[in-house]
Copies of this chain bind each other. A is one copy, B any other.
Amino acid sequence: MIQTPTKTELLDARKQLEKYIHQTPVFQSTTINKMAGAQLFFKAENLQKMGAFKMRGAMHATLQLTKEQQQKGIATHSSGNFAQAMALSAKLLGIPAWAVMPSNAPQVKKVAVASYGATIIECRPTLEARESTLKKVVEENQCTPLHPYNAIDVILGNSTATQELLEQVNFLDIIITPVGGGGLISGTALSTHYFSPKTKVIGAEPKLADDAFRSLQTGILQPPLKPTTIADGLRTSLGEITFHFIKKYVEEIQLAEENEIIEAMHLIWERMKIIVEPSSAITLAIVLKNKSYFKNKRIGLILSGGNVDLSKLPF
């Protein structure tokens, strides 16, 4: 039985995070509005600490631990942004952190995690190796493992991005959020549920990683199919908790092709002068491919992060 967090818990998360995270700005582009035929409000979580919304969930989950647990430290397995978010959270609280990272994780991500002072433990690049290595690390150090998305405290942290957005912009008809593991969209959906119930939440997912789309259609959690999408942050698949909230509160999930994601990313870089990763740009891709659906609407788009390898751009 998955309990729905209360409004008070959402507000508490916001308050607790206040001094650890940035309130990120909201940007608009006249040109892109004109192209879309709608009013778009981009919530720039790419400008969040460590470059992604993940900081919110990681920090909030860490703050819920007892002092004793915090002192023993935190751990996770991740090839991407969550390891950085955990490492920075630990650094800000002055506690130890261990990141289990697959041997094929990009060097740039390992450097970032190490720069925040976390201990990196390499493992073979399989889910089994990642999980068993993490288990060992947790046993050896008596530290607390954090799940990157399938956890209420992480979702509560993530919800604060949309809480901010709803204060920054009034009367949003729709909020579009990328869907990977579902941790961000769960937080978005909970925030709109309590603070702007008329706002629809739509998920944006790559066609090449459409497990959430298929799960929502069938009502049964679908396994991933070795996704290869350029939107590397969205290759993860839903967990039971995130699927629960998606079924309950998300209007629908729309899919984007790879080239549509890349074009939207190029457009944001070129016109808005901000760096977003493909996983963020997919929200705009959805709007531009379904213009009649979004026509004249006021739409919030969560730009989830900006961690890209500048030496491997798709354009």
Interface residues in chain A, defined as those with a beta carbon under 8 Å from any beta carbon in chain B: 25, 27, 30-31, 46-47, 49, 51, 115, 266, 269-270, 272-276, 306, 310-311, 313, 315
Tell me the bound Cα distance from A310 to B25 in angstroms.
24
Identify A46's interface contact among B30, B273, B276, B313, CB under 8 A.
B273
A51 proximity list for chain B (CB < 8 A): 273
A275 proximity list for chain B (CB < 8 A): 269, 273-275
A30 proximity list for chain B (CB < 8 A): 49
Tell me the bound Cα distance from A266 to B308 in angstroms.
12
A266 proximity list for chain B (CB < 8 A): 310
Tell me the bound Cα distance from A21 to B311 in angstroms.
34
Q: Is the CB of B274 within 8 A of A310?
A: no
A276 proximity list for chain B (CB < 8 A): 273
Min CB distance, A179 to chain B, in Å? 22
A274 proximity list for chain B (CB < 8 A): 47, 273-275
Tell me the bound Cα distance from A272 to B31 in angstroms.
23
Q: Is the CB of A269 within 8 A of B315?
A: no
A310 proximity list for chain B (CB < 8 A): 266, 269-270, 313, 315
Identify A306's interface contact among B25, B273, B311, B315, CB under 8 A.
B273
Tell me the bound Cα distance from A115 to B34 in angstroms.
12
20 A-B residue pairs with Cβ-Cβ distance under 8 Å, sorted by A, are: A25-B25, A27-B47, A30-B49, A46-B273, A47-B272, A47-B273, A47-B274, A51-B273, A269-B275, A269-B310, A270-B310, A273-B274, A273-B276, A273-B306, A274-B274, A274-B275, A310-B313, A310-B315, A311-B315, A313-B313
Min CB distance, A73 to chain B, in Å? 22
Q: Which of A273, A275, A311 has the most CB of B within 10 A?
A: A273
Tell me the bound Cα distance from A272 to B46 in angstroms.
9
Q: Across the two chains, which residue of chain B brings its CB closest to A88?
A: B30
Tell me the bound Cα distance from A208 to B47 in angstroms.
33
Q: Across the two chains, which residue of chain B brings its CB closest to A28?
A: B22
Tell me the bound Cα distance from A115 to B25 in angstroms.
27
Q: A273-B275, A310-B313, A313-B313 are in contact. List 5 more A-B contacts (CB 8 A).
A: A31-B115, A51-B273, A273-B276, A274-B275, A311-B315
A306 proximity list for chain B (CB < 8 A): 273
A273 proximity list for chain B (CB < 8 A): 46-47, 51, 274-276, 306
A269 proximity list for chain B (CB < 8 A): 275, 310
A46 proximity list for chain B (CB < 8 A): 273
Min CB distance, A117 to chain B, in Å? 13
Min CB distance, A315 to chain B, in Å? 6
